[in-house]
Structure formats: C-alpha cells, structure tokens
Chain A
C-alpha cells in the first residue's frame, strides 16, 4: 500500500507576518513547524502501517510538501518519525499560490511519487484556514474524499472506514480506495521520533524538485496561476484590555459581580 501525506510548513507562532504588497503570508522558514493537522494525518498513516505490518503487509508512507528550501528540515523530521520517503516541491515559480495552484503542484508531486492508495491531508492549515486542499486534490486526482476524519477504523481490501464529522454530527463512513482523507487535529497526536529514527533521517535523501521537473503547467502554478487574489489583509486590532481586580476578597468579589453585570 502507498500512502501520501501532504504536509505544510506553517509559522510556529500565532502571529503571522503578511507581505504588504502581495498580501500573502511571509514564509522565511525561521520558526516553521508542520501544520498540526498534517502532523495528525502522518500519525494516522503510521498507525495504519503498524496494523498492516502486524498482518505482514508492506506500507510505504511518502510525505509531500510545496515550500521554500528550508521546508526540507521538516520533511526530514517526518522521516525521523517514520515516513518512508519525502518529496519537496520548491521553486520560485510556486510562490504566491492559492489553493487551486497549490493543488496543481501537489497533484504533479503525487504523480511523481507514484499514484497512492490513500492521500492524507490535515483538515485545514492553521495559517490559511481554507480547508480546500484535500477536496481539491480529490477532484484533481478523481478520487473519493472524506473530510474532517476523527478516527480511522479500518483499511482493508479496497476500502477505508472512518469516523468523520459533518453538519449532522459524526458519521461512520466507508470509502473505496483510492481516496483522500482530511484529518481533524483531535484524531491523534504525532509520535516523537526515536534516536534511531533521527540518526537514520539525517542520511535519508529528501527529493527536492522544481516545477519543470514534476511537469507542472507554468500557467497553473504560483501567483500568476492563481485565479483568486487576496485584495486586502489586516491584523484585527485587540478590542478589549484585561481588567485587574484588586483589594481584599470582599472588594474583589464586588468588582467581579459588577463586571459580570456589565457584560450581562
């Protein structure tokens, strides 16, 4: 079985820096981390491989990302945690991509890796919050898609069974392979790497490819290949400041009551 896990480098801090000209997020790789939702997707893939290994079945887990060269460090960390191999799509031509252009690049990357049985993505990224990549990938690859997966129940024969969230609550869903799953953060916590994993990952090859090398259509990638444009972005101003309650217990209680009454 071949599983591709799509991971995105996101800022470690919640304070996102915006480019004032392009209105896109500045990604200098400084304090980047793997998007927490994608980290959960990788953990589900690793658990699935453990189950299959116990049954004597092989599983290849590829991690795929589109990003700046510094993203290689994060992909190497994914290998340390158990991924089999990694492909980084890195090219100035990819810069400024919206979700559709990103999807085209990732689709090319997936084809380069070899068509998988399962594509796992985080439900959304903590910086962009669009939740569009997974469904768009499914469309591009002509696969079924289940979003907001809370738990992976089984993956046998040609189908995967999951619990997934939706407007009506949580449903038990069976999807035919190949398919795309987008994963909720609470589904699992990504394991830590072992010493053996970290040392092995240092010597592992992370494949880095440019747009032309993966056969990407220049008209469908990057800022120019993005049909949507961010017209304006701004950091919301803090609306309320904290209130310090002081004095003895009685005075503090009275102040609290007053504050609650004001809010109510």
Chain B
C-alpha cells in the first residue's frame, strides 16, 4: 500500500496494528480486516487522505462511533477512515421563520449535541458572526432539540445520516433525513459536493450534480419504487427527488460526509411517557391501531413482548446493574409504551384520558399502566426500554462463550399499517414452528419490530438466519422494507436483493460508480463486491470497445 506511513496533509495514514483492533468491528459483532487507518480532524484532511488513496484505488471503509448494527463500518480490507475526531460543532444559523440549524462535523456524538443544546452552550472557537448571533438568539428562545433518537445515544451524527437512523420518535418526527438540511460529501477523488435541501433536484430519475472542483456527475437513478412504510433499505430514490436524500442512507458507499447541517425543533412543553400492559398480544396490537387513529400527541409508540419482559424480570434479580429496574406487573404478557408530547398539561391530560379509554376498550386496564411525568420517572422508563436490547446482547455474549458461532440475530423489517396483525402472526407462527427462542420489541407505531432470535446453538443460529430470509420474502410481499432504520450494511444485502431484485441492485451499483468510479468506498455495503467489480469491468470493456470503434 503506497500511502502507508506517508503524511496525508497533516494527518498520518498509519498501518493498522493490534492497537487498533477495536476498529475492525462494530456493534453488529461482526469483524473485518484492514491494512491502514487514519483519524482526520478536518474536511481538508479527509480530502487529502482520499486523494492519496485514490491512485491505487485502495478500498476505504468510513467509520464513526461504530455503534451500527448492520456492519456498515466493518472494513473489508484496505483503509479505515475513522471520523470520530471530527467532533466539533462548526456553527449555527437561524432562518427568517425563526428555526435554528446547527452545523456539525460527522463525528459529533448525539448525546453530546443533546447536552450542548440543553445547556445552550457550545465551544465557539472559529465560529463566524452569523453563528454567534444565532447562539445569542438561542439563549432567549424556547429550548431546541434534535429529535432523532436512536436507542444508542453514543452514535455519531455522520453515522446516523449514513444509515438514515431513526428511533422511537420517528413515529412523529420521521427519520434522520427529515432533519438534515445540508451536507458536504467528499468524493473518493477528494473533490467535494455541497448539497442543500431544495437546492439540487432530479429531473424525473436523472440527477445532474456539479462538484466544487467543477466535475459534473450525470446519474441515472434506479427505477424501483420504495415501499410506503418506514424504510432504510438501499438508496432513497423517487421522481424529482432532492439530491441530498440520495446521500442520506447510502451506507457510506457514495462519499464521505464531512459536514452536516441539522434542523432543530422546539422542545415540547410537556412530555409524558406511558407504559400500558396487556395480558394478550392481540389486545396490544388492537390498542396500537387505536392509538394511531385516536391520539394526536403520540411521539412514539413502542412495544415489548412477553419474552422481553421476562428477560427484564430475570435481569432485575440476577444483575445488580439492573436491580433498580421498575418491575413489570406479574400477570402481563406485553407492554405498549407511548410518549406523549403536548403543548400544555391540559392537553396532556386530555390525551391521557383518551389513552386510558382506548386501552380499556382494547382489553387492557387503565390501572395496569405506568405514567412517567417527572424527570425521575421518565429516566426510569428510558432505563427500562434501553435495558431490553442491552440484556439481550448480554445473553447472546454469554451464549457465545460456549458456542462462538452464535451471534446476534435481530430483524429490522417494517410493513405498512394495515399489515401489522399479519406480520406479527407471521413472526409468531414461524418462530413457534422452528422451535426457536425469541424476544420482540421496537417501534410498533411504525409496524417496525426488532424480532431477536436468541439461538442456543449454531444449528439454531442457522435456522434463525433461514427464518429471516423467509421473513424478508414475506415482508416484501406485504409491501414492506427489509431494513427500516439500521441500514443494509453488509449483513442485510441479501435481503436487499430479495426486496428489490438483482436488476435494482445493478442500478444502485451504477449510481455508486457514478460517484466512486473505482468502487473504493464502503465495499461490501449494500451489494456484493462481485457485482460492483463485474459492472466496473463491463463499463471498462464498453469504453475499450468504443475507443476501438473510434480508432477504426
């Protein structure tokens, strides 16, 4: 590798040694390999690194906080470009309508941004006058928040944009893409694309973009139609689309996001979290459907099945770290959690009254509920919600000790609203038939559950994987998405083919090659390297043929 140990601008590309072992994996628990690594701190350094790796067409995997669950940041050879040190908030502005926007580097951690916003305090070194004026205005304005809320608050904002992350509040606030107003994308060549929402739009399915270096990219967008549900599967495409949406959710395959501008929203005046317990799952599903149609202030509707509650009950008694968990009532089978964001306490009370009535109508009880109105109670419920995936990860890690072939198997599929009962029935019948242990939780408001198979052996792990493939087919037939928030990464690319077909994958790969002609970035994400290399060869052959014809 030519670039190893050479300076790329002011930042070193260094050989990847045992000291960098952490950078070979992410939260998906899968592991890759790489030869070199760098930790740029500025966009100029990123450009310099990319330029130095471009000549040899070195594969590059972009990393942030490595909290992803689809192995998008797990390297497949070549270079690891880790952006965790690009962690500065660069500035702020306020538009004519009074909305605030904050400009960040991709390595800024979500929890840090939240802290800054809550304290209305930022490190302002290097900020321009416009930013300082906006910060001054922020001090007197109603509290502002960035609403995207993945479970993992240690995720970085660049990674969240790369996989179009969402979280519980996506029920009302949508996914990451709705809150990204501009971004800068460094291409594999080192050139830069600056994209602003509303600034660069496709004509039908053709996109023409000009880089800051003056290069024009002519992009034929894929022809597939995206599902009408929560979706983070493959490139976002639609007629007349905004170019920025192509980059958001592209899993690090098109370029390196070096800067994001995020739109903030005012914090709700009143936030109450309510957990509603049910003795039967179909009652919970009925209640969910009623919540969707009857509640006006629900920001999140989440679900925990009986197995998830049982795991929490065990953790309470077996682990001191979880001993303060609120104890679910003994005789309940599942829980629907609702976050109410209201303009006033009166509005929240009216909404709570509606919620109590619909819970009773669905077969639950207004007595079998927890209402968190204080900060302390809300923290307790957040702990409760986040303890579920954490406990499952601990369980899987424990089983891996006896059988290293076992790893986490969590689904991320979503279906349209009218398919909720059908998809739950699919999960329940197929899991029971396969004799597998499983726990389900997640964003039921968006019909988007994380069904986790808990394999006890390598054979069960294989059976679980086979089950996921069957679900991918069935969910696709229901008009759903194989990945709704984690992104496709490397782990779900087979499902992407099931969802859109081989032709669509080839169309996506051509989009990638328009941005990244040597196929360097995010190799193995979205589509297999064989497909990408075959397309590159075909394009090279076509060019040769044309040259020969031209020569003749």
Interface residues of A (CB under 8 A from B): 12, 33, 36, 77, 80, 189, 191-199, 202, 248-249
Contact = CB atoms under 8 A, between A and B. Distances in A.
B370 A194 contact: yes
A189 B325 CA distance: 9
Interface string B367-380: 11111111111001
B274 interface: yes
B363 interface: no
Given A77-B373, A199-B352, A189 B326 contact: yes
18 contacts: A33-B375, A77-B374, A191-B370, A192-B370, A192-B371, A192-B372, A192-B377, A194-B368, A194-B370, A195-B274, A195-B366, A195-B369, A196-B356, A196-B365, A196-B366, A198-B349, A198-B352, A199-B353
Contacts of A249: 19
Given A192-B380, A249-B19, A198 B326 contact: no
B375 A199 contact: no
A111 to B, nearest CB: 31
B367 A196 contact: yes
A195 B352 contact: yes
A71 B466 CA distance: 58
Contact of B374 (A33, A195, A199, A248): A33
Contacts of B324: 189
B357 to A, nearest CB: 9
Contacts of B232: none
Contacts of B451: none
Interface of B: 19, 274, 276, 324, 326, 349, 352-353, 355-356, 359, 365-377, 380-381
**Interchain residue pairs A-B with the least CB separation, the first 6:** A195-B356, A192-B370, A196-B366, A195-B366, A195-B369, A194-B369
A109 B354 CA distance: 37
Given A189-B326, A202-B349, A195 B377 contact: no
A33 B371 contact: no
Contacts of A192: 326, 370-372, 377, 380-381
Contacts of B380: 189, 192
Q: Which of B365, B368, B370, B381 gathers most chain A CB within 10 Å? A: B370
A127 to B, nearest CB: 16
Nearest to A74: B374
A196 B357 CA distance: 10
Contacts of B375: 12, 33
A49 to B, nearest CB: 15
Contacts, number: 58
Contacts of B276: 195
A12 B365 CA distance: 32
A197 B370 CA distance: 10
A78 B372 CA distance: 13
A77 B349 CA distance: 13
B371 A193 contact: yes
- Interface secondary structure of A, over-half rule: helix
A103 to B, nearest CB: 27
A193 B377 CA distance: 10
Contacts of B356: 195-196, 199
A33 B326 CA distance: 19
B377 A199 contact: no
A226 to B, nearest CB: 31
Q: Which of B276, B356, B368, B374 gathers most chain A CB within 10 Å? A: B374
A194 B371 contact: yes
A194 B366 contact: yes
B349 A33 contact: no
A33 B374 CA distance: 8
Contacts of A195: 274, 276, 352, 355-356, 359, 366-367, 369, 371
Nearest to A12: B375
A192 B366 CA distance: 13
A36 B365 CA distance: 29
Contacts of A202: 349
A198 B359 contact: no
B367 A194 contact: yes
Nearest to A196: B366
A66 B373 CA distance: 23
A114 B19 CA distance: 70
Nearest to A73: B345
Nearest to A34: B374
A198 B19 contact: no
Given A192-B380, A196-B369, 13 more contacts: A12-B375, A33-B375, A33-B376, A80-B371, A192-B326, A192-B371, A193-B373, A194-B369, A194-B371, A195-B369, A196-B367, A198-B349, A199-B352
Contact of A198 (B365, B368, B371): B371
A202 B355 CA distance: 16
Contacts of A193: 370-371, 373
A191 B381 CA distance: 11
A63 to B, nearest CB: 16
Q: Which of A36, A80, A196, A249 gathers most chain B CB within 10 Å? A: A196
Contacts of A33: 374-376
Contacts of B377: 192
Contacts of A194: 366-371
A122 B477 CA distance: 59
A12 B370 CA distance: 21
Q: Which of A12, A192, A202 gathers most chain B CB within 10 Å? A: A192
Contacts of A197: 367, 371
A189 B379 CA distance: 13
Contacts of A196: 356, 365-367, 369
B37 to A, nearest CB: 12
Nearest to B375: A12
Contacts of B19: 248-249
Contacts of B359: 195
Contacts of A12: 375
A197 B359 CA distance: 15
A69 B422 CA distance: 53
A199 B352 CA distance: 8
A198 to B, nearest CB: 5
A189 B384 CA distance: 14
Nearest to A33: B374
B549 to A, nearest CB: 55
Q: Which of A33, A36, A77, A194 gathers most chain B CB within 10 Å? A: A194
Nearest to B275: A192
Nearest to B353: A199
Contacts of A80: 371
A197 B369 CA distance: 9
A195 B357 CA distance: 10
A175 B271 CA distance: 43
Nearest to B374: A33
A238 B192 CA distance: 46
Nearest to A80: B371
Given A189-B324, A189-B326, A199 B370 contact: no
A167 to B, nearest CB: 26
A152 to B, nearest CB: 17
A248 B372 CA distance: 44
A155 B324 CA distance: 25
B87 to A, nearest CB: 13
A77 B371 CA distance: 11
Q: Which of A189, A197, A198, A202 gathers most chain B CB within 10 Å? A: A198
B352 to A, nearest CB: 6
A154 to B, nearest CB: 21
